[in-house]
A and B are shown apart, each in its own frame.
Chain A
Amino acid sequence: MPIFHALANPARFQKLARPLTPLCFWAGVALALFGCWAGLTRTPADYLQGETVRILYIHVPCAWLGMGGWSALALASIAYLVWRHPLAAVAARAIAAPGALFAGLCLVTGSIWGRPTWGTWWQWDGRLTSMLLLFFVYIAYIALSRADAERGGDGRIPALFGVAGTILLPVIRYSVIWWNTLHQGQSIGLTGSTIAPSMLWPLWFTLSGFSLFFAGLVLMRMRAMLARQKVEARMRRMAAV
């Protein structure tokens, strides 16, 4: 925990973020591109789904980032509510837009995958509907945090919303168990996977690549917000003189 308190200093954070941003971003791009190439050309087609299964290598990382993004946003919100670290509020706001994008891409790629596999673009089943709700919750968070910032709020209301939104995460996770859904059950868990290793390996590259890419995006957005805050503070000081 002391390391997080030390990083909560914006100057120290920016010193660390400057070299980390291109490192995370380009390492993420390289790993994701390699994973996509391997997934498209170096794995066998599925015996049931055929070539369509290759959507797996982008759909799963998008789902992982949509849900993982909200978990990170909620943790940052808790850090802000408990310790009042201003950097935690900046981190939560920086995560929201990339998280919303990947939740949206998860829905779109899932829909494209569903058409040749299930014969439909959309079905109101537990997994799809709960993921759509998460996407809407992201949009609501973005609107709320913008409105709060414009009205000079202290960021407590978006932080509380960020924590409350976590209720959706177990619903998404267990939706395939709780309800009889069209979406397949869990195929990758902590104890192993039901996917053949010959098909699974590129997924680790796309998962780690997309995650690093996401971290690079969040760092960029945090740096932009901190620089804007610095400009606003300086303008206020200059106006006061």
Chain B
Amino acid sequence: MISGPTSTLDAPPAAPEKVAVTKVATTNFVSIVSTSSGAPLVAQPPRGHSHLISLCAAVLVAGSLITGGYFWARDIQERRLHTAAPEFCDAKLHGVALIREALSRPDTLVFFGSSELIPDVPMKGVDFFSDSPTGFTMFPVGKAGTTALSVLQKLGGAAEQLEGKKLVLSLSPSFFQTDEVDAKYFEGNSSKLQIKEFFWSDRFSAELKRDVAVAILKYPKVIEGDWTLNFTLRRWAGGSSVDRCLLAIIQPYATLDRMVGRLQDHIEAGLALKGMVATEGTVPPSAGRFRPTRGKVLRWDDLFLSAEQQSKALAAKSRKRPIKVVRAKGTWDKQFAVKMRKAQEWKDFELVLRLLKEAGAKPLVMSMPLHADVLEAQGVSETGRLAYGERLQEMVRRYGVPLVYFKDHESDPVFFVDQNDHIGSKGWWYYNRVLDDFYHDKLGKSALPK
């Protein structure tokens, strides 16, 4: 039975000593409570409305807390970004907030590298520039196995911050000496958020997005479990007008998906930085000696002698594997050249250069030397090794990007700290000098010692 909206004024007065309240009817709009005599007592707020009001209040509270958390995270990112510089946490490497923050700062030089960033050697760039000795700090981004495609997604995730921005790409030649780099390298460095940010950015051409989508789809594990990303990549790779139409249809959902991802990323980055604050100032004892302080004139010649000394000490202590000669010198030049020419890494590296050109960035490419002793033992002569530098030079020239290639050091026994692409103190001295010159627009104006 549904009672009408009867006024309490029409009802006879109820006995005040025993008011047995009974619910007699509820509609979606009105609830009427009556006394035992059947007379309505008072009109209550509708039940559905009380749920709605409570839900709205709860959402409002949650929204306020999330907004507060976002601003707290932004604030801590602005104030504490430098504490993340030597770290390899997920929020830094797989997120976008910290990389964007670093790229937006005029006093920070972002350095995209790979495993050379990991070994703790004296004079490592991140420690060397940590006190901003010449007006900037270095913000390294990368960990072991960071190939060109991994760098591309990190850059693509920060598209808006790239225009006119100086940044450095450090290349590991070993990635260019094999047809296909181990798939696990990209898989382990992939980031769904960074890839989504790249594909939904309006800074890049459809041709670049199509080529990048084709390159990433070779790694199906990367898009596993994320239908938005899977769908986006397949539509961009398809490139037909139907694909474009489908992309336009899902754009609102994809935008919402990215907004949620960005919010999570900011809060994760804030929490990560908060955790790092406790350990701030803990510098390895060896690094402290080579940590110039702000405003101090850098005596590069003295630092070079220290770095060389350190490198020799490290070499004496290192457990380098004895190099086994497997072929006569020069007998493997042709095969080496073919293998290098076919390397997937060149194609991916070219995609990075295209992205940087479209974004209007000002990059510097640095490449470590090849390991002459290792390659000679495999039958690759100096003539054979020239192919790497020539190809690299030709590629960066096409995109108008400056290149610093330390070819003269391929036989230097202490440039590296081991037989992989991990530079030692002496190698870092060269890198630091180039970074300083690049930041201060002095690249190529100062002579480097051999």
A binds B: no
B contact set with A: CB distance below 8 Å = none
What residues of chain A have their CB less than 8 Å away from a CB belonging to chain B?
Answer: none
